[in-house]
Amino acid sequence: MDHNSNRALEDFVGVMGKLKAIIENENEFLERGLPATLLATTKRKSVLSREYGALSNEVLDTSVDQLLADPDLQVKLVAAGAELQAMSKENRTLLERAVKASRRRVDAVMEAVRASADAAPEELSGLGIPADDVAARGDR
């Protein structure tokens, strides 16, 4: 077993662990109903995903003999990969749900803006919003 195959496997497992940690944190965040726009992990997750893809190819190129010779390692890698895949699927579902919720909030705000634009000036002045002619003059 050479140093390159060991290093590739170690790097691969390390990146997999980092990805799992980020996705787990994101999923907890999203499950609490917080907006996806507050996530600061998107860029890091993207970088790690690309690294994960490159390292998986490197593992296949350098570690096939080691993997074939170690059934326990095969099982561990397959299980870890399946767990990461399940976490990623849940992450996509939660992100889609968060994006839909954000869209609903934006739509509600836009509807309120449209409703206020259609409101009579006397209705707006009661809310502290100047009527168009007052706003145009800059008076208050």
Report how many domains make up the chain. 1
Write out pLDDT tens, residues 83-102.
999 999 999 999 999 889 88
Model confidence at 123: pLDDT above 70: no
Please compute the mean of the pLDDT values over residues 1-6 and round it to a whole number.
70
Q: Which two three-digit tokens encode residue 128?
A: 């502290």
59 inside domain = yes
The b-or-e profile of 118-140 (16+ CB within 10 A means b, else e) is eeeeeebeeeeeeeeeeeeeeee
111 inside domain = no
Q: Provide the pLDDT for residue 118.
A: 73
Q: How far are the Cα atoms of 127, 128, 133 from residue 122, in angstroms, in the given order? A: 9, 10, 12
Structural domain including 29 reads 3-98
134 inside domain = no
80 inside domain = yes
Confidence band (pLDDT; 50, 70, 90) for 37?
Answer: confident
Distance of CA 140 to the CA centre of its chain: 44
pTM of the model: 0.71
13 inside domain = yes
34 inside domain = yes
23 inside domain = yes
